[in-house]
Amino acid sequence: MIARLVENGSISDNAAARRSHALPQEALTFGSTLNIKFQRAVDRFAGVPICALLSLINRFGTIFRTADNPAPPRRILVILLSEMGSLVLAHPMFVRLKQRYPDASLHIMLFGKNREVLDLMEVIPQENVLTINDRALSGFARDSLAAIGRMRALKFDVVIDCELFSRVSSIFSYLSGAPVRVGFHRHTQEGLYRGSFINRAVLYNPYRHLSQQFLAMVAAIESAAEPKAKEAIVAEPVTPPALNFADGELQQIFAQLHDDFPAIKEKKLVLVYPSGGILPIRAWPMENYRQLCASLLGDGYAVGIIGMKEDKPYGQDIVAHCQHPHCADLTGYTKSVRHLLALFHRASLLVTNDGGPGQFAALTPISSLVFFGPETPVLYGSLARNSHCFFAALPCSPCLTAYNHRSSPCDGDNLCLKRITPEQVLAKARALLEAPGHNSA
């Protein structure tokens, strides 16, 4: 079971929360925001006609193999392009595929930037990974053509498209030539059109955790029901196994951390991830992070601000606000996801917006506090047993859904997160940090 704490925020508005942030989100994430808008536009204006064309081809004389009653598959391809965190949530699905089809060769297609997380999980042989470059249109086109050629050469029996109504992944699933194509489908619900060539259509269920829906996709391979997999009993997914480190590896990383930031050496460490990534609306207000960090430092804990190198303004802002020797700016410090997860072993607590770090925590022993609002823990809560979610559950929340391409109608005033107060979070953080047997420095 997913350990989950849902906290309700204060009803009264906070004047400080209404002030403009010292760090304008638009300025910090303009490049990423522009990129995701461009991806949505391509997916809509190019994806819709391509899906319609492929649907016509499939209806009036498919050019690919068909299999109404397939034999046990020999080769299975999973398409999971988008987010690193989704790979962690998909771990139970990979395990189920290996259990059900032990003789099948398992492959995956994903964006190249997510490759490291996949390799750390050790669920797919490295030679069975197809990567796509999503950083430039030319690279994307080149890699897509190469991937289609490789898929056709491998002659997959089953392709499982795990994307939530992304049209490009649906197009890849058809062009793979696999006779069995599993994917989410809107059926009679409102949602994003992506063709009618998915022949193992799984009903997308916004009330069921995403990891369970991934498990239903495995059941859909041989399902005779309509919609597929509705007769399957989907057990609760288990926590992924912890990441393994070589002997002495963690100690070496800890020693380097203490050499670089000697003031935190003898302290319990709290890691904080204040960035919203490519979706800034998911970020808890910076003013709240400043207040929380100052309070934790006052309690005698060390605080480290984590993030990518482009998140450096967040780290500098909190360090400047707190002006405390035990507050360390670790944005851009970690050289890889593995390095970051090693720091999770050194730290006693992670406080984070919904996103990759909150999911990665499931691969380590660290306790975490995760903020939800624009998205919901019902769908995206961590698989870790020691993860605790804050979710104010306003009438408009969640507003980022598969049905709107994660394009929120919110004007940027994310009250769903502002209603979660620093006092609430501090109380839970203290309870975890002071619990008997909790990680010590």
Planar angle of CA 402, 277, 249, nearest 5 degrees: 115
Q: 171: closest CA among 52, 328, 78?
A: 52
Separation CA 203–CA 213 (nearest Å): 9
The architecture CATH gives domain 46-220: 3-Layer(aba) Sandwich (3.40)
Is it true that 15-33+241-433 and 46-220 share their CATH fold? yes
Which residue, among 134, 171, 177, has the nearest Cα to 154 in the 3D structure?
177
Contact assessment for residue 278 and residue 32, using Cβ atoms and an 8 Å cutoff = yes
Radius of gyration of the chain (CA): 22
> Can you tell me the distance from the alpha carbon of 300 to that of 400, in angstroms, rounded to the nearest whole number?
37
Q: Please check whether residue 351 is in contact with residue 270, taking contact to mean a CB–CB distance below 8 angstroms.
A: yes
DSSP lists the bridge partners of residue 405 as none
Please give the model's pTM, rounded to 2 decimal places.
0.86
Question: What is the token pair recorded at 206?
Answer: 């916004």
Q: What are phi and psi of 175, to 5 degrees?
A: -70, -15
Whole-angstrom distance, CA of residue 394 vs CA of residue 392? 6
- The two three-digit tokens of residue 346, written as one number: 């050194």
The pLDDT value recorded for residue 64 is 60
Q: Where are the beta strands (DSSP E) in 41-179?
A: 75-79, 105-111, 129-132, 158-161
Long-range contacts of 52-55 (CB under 8 A, 24+ apart): 52/195, 54/171, 54/174, 54/175, 54/195, 54/197, 55/195, 55/196, 55/197
Q: Domain 15-33+241-433 adopts which CATH fold?
A: Rossmann fold (3.40.50)
Query: What CA–CA distance (Å, rounded) separates 322 from 305?
Result: 12
The encoded tokens of residue 70 equal 């397939």
**Sequence ranges of the domains in the chain:** 15-33+241-433, 46-220
**Helix, strand or coil for residue 239?**
coil
pLDDT in tens, the chain (441 residues): 333 444 433 323 333 333 333 343 333 332 344 477 777 788 888 888 999 999 988 888 665 655 555 678 999 999 999 788 999 999 999 999 999 999 999 999 999 999 999 999 999 999 999 999 988 888 889 999 999 999 999 999 999 999 987 899 999 999 999 999 999 988 777 778 888 899 999 999 889 999 999 999 999 999 988 888 888 777 777 889 999 999 999 999 999 999 999 999 999 999 999 999 888 999 999 999 999 999 999 999 999 999 999 999 999 999 999 999 999 999 999 999 999 999 999 999 999 999 999 999 999 999 999 999 999 999 999 999 899 999 999 999 999 988 888 888 998 899 999 999 999 999 999 999 998 766 655
CA distance 168 to 144: 10
Distance CA 377, CA 353 (A): 12
Q: Please report the pLDDT score of residue 392 as a whole number.
A: 94
CA distance linking residue 128 with residue 204, whole number of Å = 27
Torsion sign over Cα 151, 152, 155, 160: positive
What's the rounded Cα separation, in Å, for the pair 396 and 238? 31
